[in-house]
Amino acid sequence: MPTLRTVLSIPLLVAALLLSPALSPDTSGTATTAGSTDAVLPRLVTEGGAPAAALLDRIRTGPGRVSRYADTGPGIARTDHFRAGSITKTFVAVVVLQLAAEHRLSLDDTVDRHLPGLLRPARTAGPRSRSRSGSGSDSGSGSPPDGRRITLRQLLTHTSGLPDFTQVTAGAVPLTPPQAVGLALTLPPAPRGHYSYSSTNYVLLGMVIRQVTGHSYAAEAQRRIIAPLGLAGTSFPGSRRSLPAPHGHAFAADGSDVTELDPRVAGAAGELVTTLDDLDRFYAALLDGELLTPHWLREMKDTRAAQGEYGMGLYPTRLPCGVTVWGHNGRISGSYVRTAATADGGHVLTFRVNTDAMADHRLEPALLAAEFCPRTW
C-alpha cells in the first residue's frame, strides 16, 4: 500500500532508541534481534500515535524455530484476531498462481477471456493520467481500460492501469465486486504497463477465481492455504461485521472505535482476518516453497513488470544494511499490519497497530531494520 510501503533509508542511532516495551517472551526461545526491536516498538505508540502495537518474529534454527512476542500499550495481545487489509492480496495471488500451475488459467489470459464484456472502453471516461511511479507510455497509456488487452499478469502486478475504487469509497462503503469495478471505471485510468497500486486489480482476480473454479476466492484460499497450513485463526468473514474472539478494539485516526466493520468494503483486496502467529506461519511457508513450486515462486517474486516495485502479491524492501525482505502490508479501517521475511522464509516478522494511521512513517523502516539488519553498535 503506497503511503507506508515506501522505505526511507534512515540511520538507526542509539540515542534515538532508548525506550523499552512491555514484553511477553515466547517460552520457545528468544530472537537475536530482541534488543533492537525492543527499542523501536514503543515508538509506534509514543511517536506514531497508535493506541497499542505488537510484534511477533520467527527465526529458523536448525530443525526448528524460535519466536518472540512483544507488545506495548493497553488492550493488545498475541492471540488477538485482527483485520489484515491488503495482506489478503498475497493469499489471492497464491490461489491464482496455483491455478496457473494446474493449467486452469494462464497469466497471459486477458480479463475478457474469463469475464467477457466486463471491461470495455465505452464504459469509462476521464482525462489521461500518469502513475506515480513512471511517466513512460505504451500503446495503452492513459487509455480507457479494455478487458481485451489487460492480462491477469497485469492485474497481479498492478500494471493494468485500472483506477483504485477505494479512492472514492475511502474503504468505508461495502460494495459487491461488480459495483467496485464499475466505480473504478468512472475514474481516470493510469498508464497501462506501469506500476500503479490499485485494489481493483485484486477484486477482479477474485472474480476470475470464481469463474475458473466455480468457488469463491475465500473458499479456494481456505482449501488451498488455510487448511493445509493449519491457520486456525485466519478467515474470510464475508459480510460478518464482528471479529472472532479473542480480539481487542480497533480505532480510526480520529479515535473512534471501528472494531465492527463490514469486510465488503475491501473484498478480495482486503477482507482477511487473521493473527500474528498465522501470518508468520503463512509467509514462512510461502517463501520456503510449501505453497508454490520453485518456478511459480520465482514468478511471484519477479518485479520487472512493475519496475522493481511489486511482484505478484509480494513486494521487496531493501533495507539500509543491504538486506532485502519480502512481504506485504495491509491497512483497513482500525488496523495496520506488516509482514516481512527473508527470501527463504527463515526469518519472519509481523507487527501490527490497532489503528489505520501512524503519524511518523519513518517508524516502519526503522523497525524492519532493527529486526533484520545486523547490529553494528
Considering the domain 106-213, what is its CATH architecture? Up-down Bundle (1.20)
325 versus 61: the higher-pLDDT residue is 325
Q: Above pLDDT 90, what percent of the chain?
A: 80
Tell me what pLDDT residue 14 has.
Answer: 24
Is residue 89 within 8 A of residue 339, CB to CB? The reply is: no
Amino acid identity of residue 77, one-letter, is: A
Q: Is the pLDDT at 127 greater than 60, yes or no?
A: no
- Mean pLDDT, range 184-212, rounded to an integer: 97
pLDDT in tens, 55-99: 999 999 878 889 999 999 999 999 999 999 999 999 999 999 999
CA 123, chain centre distance (Å): 29
pLDDT in tens, 26-56: 333 333 455 589 999 999 999 999 999 999 9
Domain limits, the chain: 2-88+218-372, 106-213
Instruction: Lowest mean pLDDT of 12-26, 106-120, 175-189, 237-251, name the range.
Output: 12-26
Whole-number Å distance between alpha carbons of 12 and 1: 24
Tell me what pLDDT residue 136 has.
Answer: 36
What is the pLDDT of the chain when averaged over all its residues? 87
> Residue 278's pLDDT band (boundaries 50, 70, 90)?
very high
Closest by alpha carbon to 261, among 234, 285, 240?
240
Tell me what pLDDT residue 36 has.
Answer: 86
Is residue 88 within 8 A of residue 202, CB to CB? The reply is: yes
The CATH superfamily holding the domain 2-88+218-372 is: DD-peptidase/beta-lactamase superfamily (3.40.710.10)
Tell me what pLDDT residue 1 has.
Answer: 54
> Residue 122's pLDDT band (boundaries 50, 70, 90)?
low
How many CA within 13 A on the CB side of residue 6? Answer: 8
Q: Is the pLDDT at 324 greater than 70, yes or no?
A: yes
How many CA within 13 A on the CB side of residue 186? Answer: 10
pLDDT in tens, 206-262: 999 999 999 999 999 999 999 999 999 999 999 999 999 999 999 999 999 999 999
Closest by alpha carbon to 371, among 335, 314, 321, 337?
321
* Dihedral, 234, 366, 195, 298 alpha carbons, nearest 10: -60
Q: Mapping DSSP to helix (H, G, I), strand (E, B) and coil, where does residue 332 land?
A: strand
Tell me what pLDDT residue 143 has.
Answer: 81
Tell me what pLDDT residue 64 has.
Answer: 81
- Mean pLDDT, range 320-346, rounded to an integer: 97
